[in-house]
């Protein structure tokens, strides 16, 4: 009938991951650092997002 809670949480994580990747590419970090952060966020969505939030490159 409705969307599962897991589906909603997955959608929220996906949106936050896309936001994080956009912020990484908009940062002043080197290309290599941008690629590493992007791969971390894509392959480890929750851990990568939390790590980016606390230690990722800033604009």
Confidence of residue 5 (pLDDT cuts 50, 70, 90): confident
Give the three-class secondary structure for 6: helix
Q: Using one digit for the tens of pLDDT, what is the confidence trace for 29-45? A: 899 999 999 999 999 99
Contact of 31 with 48, CB cutoff 8 Å:
no
pLDDT score of 2: 58
Give the closest residue to 41 by CA, choosing from 53, 26, 58: 53
Q: Quick one: what percent of the chain has pLDDT higher than 90? A: 75
Percentages of the chain per state (helix, strand, coil), in multiples of 5? 80, 0, 20
Q: Give the helix/strand (H/E) hosting 38.
A: helix 31-43
Higher pLDDT among residues 8 and 4, named by residue: 8
pLDDT score of 58: 74
pLDDT score of 6: 77
């Amino acid at each position: 009938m409705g969307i599962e809670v897991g589906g909603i949480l997955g959608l929220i994580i996906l949106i936050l991951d896309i936001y994080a990747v956009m912020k990484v590419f908009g940062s002043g970090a080197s290309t290599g650092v941008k690629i590493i952060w992007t791969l971390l966020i894509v392959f480890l969505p929750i851990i990568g997002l939390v790590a980016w939030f606390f230690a990722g490159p800033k604009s």
